[in-house]
Amino acid sequence: MAKKTGLKRKSADKIIWSATPTPFLADGALDLASLDKVIDQHLRLGVTGLFMAGSCGEGPFMPNAQRDELVRATRRLAGKRLHIAVQVSDTSAARVRDNIARAEDAGADSVVIAAPWLMRFATKGFIRRYFTEPMESATLPVGVYVLQQPADSALDPALWSEIASHPKVSYIKDSSSEPKNMKAFVALKAKRPALLLETGNEFNVVNYAASGYDGCLLGTGILIGKLIRQALDALAAGDRPAADAWQKRSNEFLWDLFARDISLWMGGLKYALRRLGIFSTEFMHLDYPITAADRKRIDAALERERQFIRPE
């Protein structure tokens, strides 16, 4: 297979990718019949890339064979209409390399490496090998998923910057909400203009875009992609107040979905997708409870923003 060295953008517009949730049947099997609806929903919202099997996609809980099946089925149904990125994070460099090979075989366009699952045991040397050894052998473009780490973690902002500077890194999903990372990544992009910077902070997309990021990669892109597009278009037109107003509107919807303390994260998301007819069940590996009052509030929010969340 020919070596793939980078990502191409179709335009200068800010990109919107989705860290898409995975549809399951009630027994935990993949709901392959819902994948067409997942793909159509993203396309109607203007999303151009899917990040599969991440934390929002519950990838860490899926057997390898199930993850492969998900990627293959999505590739088959989406064709080339969507860029497909696959999270390949694991517990060691060797396992990440194996996951990269599986993702490529399943039809992925790129792979994404986040921190190792067993961070409490990780030293700086281990982390460097964990990221760089798989990158060196990868033939697909590589993304780095930058997450907040505990204060005593060896994976601090300086090490994140070092990893992100690796020449094999084609894009960065920055969900760290760390100003030092933002500054470092924007400076890195000035040296490497082809590097794509995507924020994973759905509550602050406009600020990141105004600071030089190329767009966003959102766990709620399957719902707020069109709302965020309004914000980014307003920003591109030079209307920052309108951009901020659209961001606020999106945030209000998300707070209805997840609650102000984000305590309903996966539960609210799965419920909303079932109510919209995109998912057939609310099955999730993570046990997020949801009350009747939560459901009523989410129903009202879905109806309020229906023209943007489920446009005709």
* 36: CATH: 3.20.20.70
Q: Is the pLDDT assigned to residue 34 strictly greater than 50?
A: yes
Give residues with Cβ within 8 angstroms of 267, minimum separation 6: 282, 284, 288, 289, 290, 294
Confidence at residue 7, expressed as pLDDT on a 0 to 100 scale: 62
Question: In the 3-class helix/strand/coil scheme, how is the chain assigned residue by residue?
Answer: CCCCCCCCCCCCCCEEEECCCCCECCCCCECHHHHHHHHHHHHHCCCCEEEECCCCCCHHHCCHHHHHHHHHHHHHHHCCCCEEEEECCCCCHHHHHHHHHHHHHHCCCEEEECCCCCHHHCCHHHHHHHHHHHHHHCCCCEEEEEECCCCCCCCCHHHHHHHHCCCCEEEEEEECCCHHHHHHHHHHHHHCCCCEEEECCCCCHHHHHHCCCCEEEECCHHHHHHHHHHHHHHHHCCCHHHHHHHHHHHHHHHHHHHCCCCCCHHHHHHHHHHHCCCCCCCCCCCCCCCCHHHHHHHHHHHHHCHHHHCCC
Q: Is residue 281 part of a domain?
A: no
pLDDT for residue 11 is more than 60:
no
Residue 220 resides in a domain:
yes
Is the predicted pLDDT of residue 122 greater than 90, yes or no? no
**Tokens 């969340």 found at:** 309
Calculate mean pLDDT across residues 10-30. Answer: 90
CA distance 268 to 262: 9
Q: For the chain, what percent of residues have pLDDT higher than 70?
A: 96
The pLDDT-based confidence of 4 (bands split at 50, 70, 90) is very low
Predicted confidence at residue 10, as pLDDT, reads: 53
Question: Looking at the DSSP assignment, which residues form a beta bridge with residue 113?
Answer: 144
How far lies 153's CA from each of 82, 133, 184, in Å? 35, 21, 19
Residue 259 lies in a domain: no
**Is 172 a member of any domain?**
yes
Distance of CA 72 to the CA centre of its chain: 18
Average pLDDT over residues 144-172: 92
Sign of the CA dihedral with 152 first, then 154, 158, and 163 last: negative
d(C-alpha 169, C-alpha 172), whole Å = 8
| pTM of the model as a whole | 0.93
Distance (Å, whole) CA 9 – CA 278: 28
pLDDT one-digit tens code per residue, 191-245: 999 999 999 999 999 999 999 999 999 999 999 999 999 999 999 999 999 999 9
Average pLDDT, the chain: 94
The domain tally of the chain equals 1
Examine residue 249 and state whether it is found in any structural domain, yes or no.
no
What are the tokens at 178? Answer: 């760390």
Q: Measured between alpha carbons, how far is 242 from 211 in angstroms, rounded to an integer?
A: 17
Q: Is the pLDDT of residue 162 over 70?
A: yes
Nearest to 107 by CA among 84, 138, 78, 137: 84
Examine residue 263 and state whether it is found in any structural domain, yes or no.
no
| Structure token digits, residue 300 | 């009202």
Residue type, 59: G
Nearest partner of 273 among 219, 198, 203, judged by Cα = 219
Between 220 and 122, whose confidence is greater?
Answer: 220
> Which pLDDT score is estimated for 9?
56
**Residue that wins the pLDDT comparison between 311 and 47:** 47
Give the pLDDT band (50/70/90) at residue 151.
confident
User: What's the mean pLDDT in 238-255?
Assistant: 98
Q: How sure is the predictor about 1, in pLDDT bands with cuts at 50, 70 and 90?
A: very low
pLDDT at position 293: 96
pLDDT of residue 6: 45
Give yes or no for residue 159 having a pLDDT over 90. yes
Measure Cα distances from 118 to 55, 89, 108 in Å.
Answer: 15, 11, 25
What average pLDDT does range 8-34 have in this prediction? 89
Print the domain residue range for 121. Answer: 15-237
What's the pLDDT band for 271 if we cut at 50, 70, 90?
very high
